[in-house]
Structure 1
Amino acid sequence: MSAGTGSPAGPGGGGLGPVASVEAVFREERGRLLAALARRFGDLDLAEEVTSEAIEAALERWPVDGVPPKPGAWLMTTARRRAVDRLRRDQAYAARLAILQIEAERAGPAPAAGLDDDLPDERLQLFFTCSHPALAAEDRTALTLRCLAGLTMSEVARAFLVPSPTMAKRITRAKKKIREARIPFRAPDVDELPQRLPGVLQVIYSIFTEGYAASEGPLLQRLDLAEEAIRLARILRRLLPAEREVAGLLALMLLVHARRDARTGPGGEPVLLEEQDRGRWERPMIEEGAALATVALTGGPPGPYGVQAAIAALHDEAADVAATDWAQIVALYDVLLALTPSPVVALNRAAAVAMRDGPRAGLALLDELAGEPLLRGHHPYPAARADLLHRLGRHAEAAAAYREALALAGTAPDRALLRRRLREVEHAGS
Structure 2
Amino acid sequence: MAAEHEAFRRSVLAFGAREIAPIAADVDRKDQLPPEIVERFVDLGLIQLMIPERFGGPGADLTSVCVAREAVAESGSMALAQLAGQNGIVAYPLLAYGSQEQQERFLPELAKGAIACVCLSEAGAGSDPTAMTTRARRDGGSWVLSGQKSWISYGKAARYALVFARTSEPVPARGGGGISAFLVETDRPGFVEGRHNVKMGGRGIPNVEVFFDELRVPTENMLGDKGDGFRAAMRALHLMRPPIGAIAVGGAQAAFGYARDYAKQRYQGRHSLVEYQGLRWMLADMATRVEAARCLLYECVRQVDQGAPLESIATISSMAKWMTAKTAMRVTTDAVQVLGAAGYMDDHPVERYMRDAKLTTIYEGTSQIQLNTIARGLIRSAAPRAVAPRWAAAHQAGNGRVHHRSEQVRS
Same fold (TM over 0.5): no
Report 1 or 2 for greater relative contact order, CA contacts < 8 Å, sequence distance ≥ 6: 2
Identify the TM-score tier after normalising by the shorter chain: under 0.3
CA radius of gyration, larger in: 1
What TM-score, normalized by structure 2, do the two folds share? 0.27
Structure number having the greater strand percentage? 2
TM-score, structure 1 as length reference:
0.26
